A and B are shown apart, each in its own frame.
Chain A
């Protein structure tokens, strides 16, 4: 039986774990949207009247009387008499609150990676992205696939037997985890598709279903590996780390213990491009078939 103090200590220690850094791409997306996002101006004075001294309050009150009087005098002759509703006076923005013309200080020196915008992916359209500087496009077989706008494409039904998802890696992972539950990385294996696929096929805590197999994706040679995450590993799914991409300082973890994970590592004229898909425990044939359909639709440009 834990004491209250034990629980508090454990909870506090546990809360210290986890992400603390906001990825630059998220910040860039925010800053990119500023010019199109209008600020909402307050209808009250910026400073609370309660904070002002009595002299200031009296000054404002007097000024208000003068403004009302001046406006009234100006409007009365034009209105042709009280009560017939003169033209509305449109408020002009306060000069003090007008946007500064100064530009954003540090625009990204390189263009943001191209990825389908967040939302549903239209059936019958080509959806473009850039991975490792390689442009490609794909199509989706049904209307329930959606993009997260940065790296993921999923069936919107979510986790569960009917769900499925892809990660398209902007930068190709270079290694796998030697001890997935302990966050212990194996040494990077380099950029050879064969070496990367071999490393994927031997991740502890997984069961190799097939591969590495030689396949073709978009007309380019690729290595394909399929594995499942064991359900009896000694950690939760989101603590089970699979592979990592140091250039983005990101790592893939399992969504669910028992998931099936499919990896394609494509050799595009010497550049490895990494795509991985996932279906969940108890999945029927459809999610896997649709993942394969999407991979089959990939065209490199």
Chain B
């Protein structure tokens, strides 16, 4: 079904693309938000990625590879958004459907806090590998193909990133100052 939509959209069918975008928008946005850790930047990256998907869709040789190809364009858009260093001041956030329960203990809050800081210290290259592998469950060779880098590079980035996150979790004390939200 999706392949049929991709082929139609490749031929300029806006109706088919609209259906594709509705289906792909949420998953692309979820990944962008996890890489960029900022809802505004994530929305901008997703919007840019979807427009690039539309623009470059005729150049996609294998419609069955649409999902992986769209992730590649999304990660590029995330790079671009991060480079802009816009540091949007006003923040709006979608209320999470699964709000954290009241039984979340202090240690869970601390973990989230420390992970957030540790993750923000990672480069977009490293964040992308973590999100594609640990959020989307992509095998490393597929991550490599999506990002257009050798699988050894993916392994190295993942190792470095997880080491950084582990160090953040193992930090003995919570810092006294807070980082601004990028």
B15 engages A104 (CB within 8 Å): yes
* Residue ranges of B at the interface with A (Cβ–Cβ < 8 Å): 8, 10-19, 21-22, 25-26, 28-30, 33-34, 37-40, 42-44, 46-47, 50-51, 54-59, 61-62, 85-97, 99-100, 102, 104, 106, 109, 111-113, 115-117, 130-131, 134-135, 162, 165-166, 169-170, 178, 180-182
Q: Decide: A41 near B33, CB < 8 A? Known: A235-B113, A238-B181.
A: no
Contacts of A29 in B (CB 8 A): 47
Given A10-B111, A15-B134, A238-B181, decide whether A102 and B13 contact each other with a Cβ distance below 8 A: yes
Assess whether A87 is interfacial by the CB under 8 Å rule: no
Residues of A within 8 A of B95 (CB): 183, 244, 249-251
Closest-by-CB residue of B relative to A102 is B15
Whether the Cβ atoms of A278 and B61 lie closer than 8 Å is no
Shortest distance from the beta carbon of B25 to any chain A beta carbon, whole Å: 4
**A103, B13: Cα distance in complex, Å:** 8
Q: State in angstroms the CA–CA spacing of A234 and B104 once bound together.
A: 12
Within 8 A of B (CB), among A245-292: 249-258, 276, 278, 280
Counting contact residues on chain A (CB < 8 A from B), the size range is 35 or more
Given contacts A33-B51, A158-B89, contact A40 B169 (CB under 8 A): no
A40 touches B90 (CB 8 A): no
Name the distance in Å between B140's Cβ and chain A's nearest Cβ: 14
Distance to closest chain A CB from B126 (angstroms): 12
Instruction: Please tell me if the beta carbons of A18 and B178 are within 8 angstroms of each other in the complex.
Output: no
| CB-based nearest B residue for A27 | B25
Chain B hits for A42, CB < 8 A: 58-59, 61
Q: State whether the Cβ of A138 lies closer than 8 Å to any Cβ in chain B.
A: no
With contact pairs A30-B50, A152-B40 given, residues A160 and B180 touching in the complex (Cβ less than 8 Å): yes
Q: Judge whether A236 and B113 touch: CB under 8 Å.
A: yes
Check if B29 sits within 8 Å of A97, measured CB to CB: no
State the Cβ distance, B82 to closest chain A Cβ, in Å.
13
Q: Is B14's CB under 8 angstroms from A103's CB?
A: yes
Q: Give the nearest-CB partner of B39 in chain A.
A: A19
CA distance A42 to B51 in the complex (A): 17
For the complex with contacts A34-B54, A238-B37, 9 further pairs of A-B residues with Cβ separation under 8 Å are A17-B100, A37-B51, A40-B59, A182-B104, A183-B100, A235-B113, A250-B92, A258-B178, A278-B90
